[in-house]
Structure 1
């Protein structure tokens, strides 16, 4: 669906291009940042804590990230990549119907919340306070991914109305899954079930030709 390569960080850092050794160092720093966020929360993340957790000097952190916000942005970008890869793995599999594919995507989304450190707290960074900057909404990215999948797999091209319906379905599902994990590391099953129900109501029948293909 795209030309991104798993395992290669697509994060915003100070020094580019990122060579192999630097890429591994960045990954280690982001792993440390994710652990700090998981244990202490976003508001308590500092570059000093990242350095301590990674067993690195503060100078090493500053070599790649000018401040704590840059660390959070990079971590959020990595989270986004991991969510997209999880869904892409679903989309390359064979599904008998669009509904089956949709349910598998929801399962992949839930698994990402459960398994990726920091995802529950940070997600893809849309809630980050970056001052005058804004994090772009991520739902349109997933709409583009799914629109490409629907065209390639089912031969369906979405018109404007159906794209908007798909975006609303993704946004509503994301909000419910996020809330399900707000206080429950495994996800409150009531809200997860409601999220799946919403996905069915909003998206089931969206592409009737694809479902019967």
Structure 2
């Protein structure tokens, strides 16, 4: 069921003469990005609970029919926005892990800096993040933590020669979970991130990762 009961305006969905030579997939991707940008602005201004497809359409300067062409309801909008946030965080992490660092502690500092930058620069990230707190009702969404655990484990092996045994993945999970929770809390009331909680997040992550490097010579 559509969340605002608005009628589709299908007349706005026809191909524009001015962009008829643009590939359909590229044009659709551009429209989706514009709608998600609008959704992010609505979330920032009104909060997740007040987001509707009508507000997204209004903010994007599009018809409600255009919104419904890509998103069946408000939950689908929020999930797509959360997935985009997840992609941006993973890309930020990928850039950090692809750079040269003199030590794993230096790499950890860069990871924290990338997280902080994402919270500061990506609209809606402070309130929505990667969608872990979304109530999707009967729908299921895969947890995102294992993705980051796998990313870090792969990095430790490739860069530092640290082979993470099955029972040791918990160290990475706790490092990421503790860091994520404290960075999130740091931005709860401070748009720049409360440095006390950022420092605590670093310390917890360092404490959990250190045993993996014991005897590894990294």
Question: Which bracket does the TM-score occupy, shorter chain normalised?
Answer: 0.7 to 0.9
Show CA shifts across 1:173-196 (max 9, x none): 111111111111111111111111
Q: Is contact 1:128–1:135 with CA below 8 Å preserved after alignment? A: no
Q: In 2, distance between residues paired with 1:209 and 1:85?
A: 31
Contact map agreement 2:186 2:195 (CA 8 A) in 1: yes
1:94 corresponds, among 77, 96, 100, to: 100
Q: Which residue of 2 aligns with 1:208?
A: 214
Which structure has more RCO (C-alpha within 8 Å, separation ≥ 6)? 1
Partner of 2:11: none
How far off is 1:200 after superposition? 1.5
1:136 correspondence with 2:142: yes
In the other structure, the counterpart of 2:32 is 26
Larger Rg: 2
Partner-residue secondary structure (3-state), 2:33? helix
5+ residue gaps, structure 1: 1-17
Question: Structure 1 residues 82, 209: closer, same or farther in 2, change over 3 A?
Answer: farther
What is the alpha-carbon distance in structure 2 between the residues aligned to residue 37 and residue 84 of structure 1?
Answer: 21
Q: Which residue of 1 aligns with 2:51?
A: 45
Superposed CA RMSD: 1.3
Aligned to 1:83: 89
User: Is the 8 Å Cα contact of residues 51 and 57 (structure 1) preserved in structure 2?
Assistant: yes
Structure 2 match to 1:111? 117
Consecutive unaligned residues of structure 2, counting only runs of 5 or more, are: 1-23
Tell me by how many angstroms 1:128 deviates: 0.4
Q: Provide the C-alpha distance between the structure 1 equivalents of 2:215 and 2:92, rounded to a whole number of angstroms.
A: 26
CA distance in 1, matches of 2:199, 2:104: 19
Per-residue CA distance 1:130-160 (angstroms, 9 max, x = gap): 0012332211100111111122212222102
Task: Tell whether the 8 Å contact from 2:52 to 2:74 is kept in structure 1 after alignment.
Answer: yes
Taking structure 1 as the reference length, what is the TM-score of the superposition? 0.88
Q: What is the SS of the residue equivalent to 2:212?
A: coil
Q: What TM-score, normalized to structure 2? A: 0.86
Match of 1:124 in 2: 130
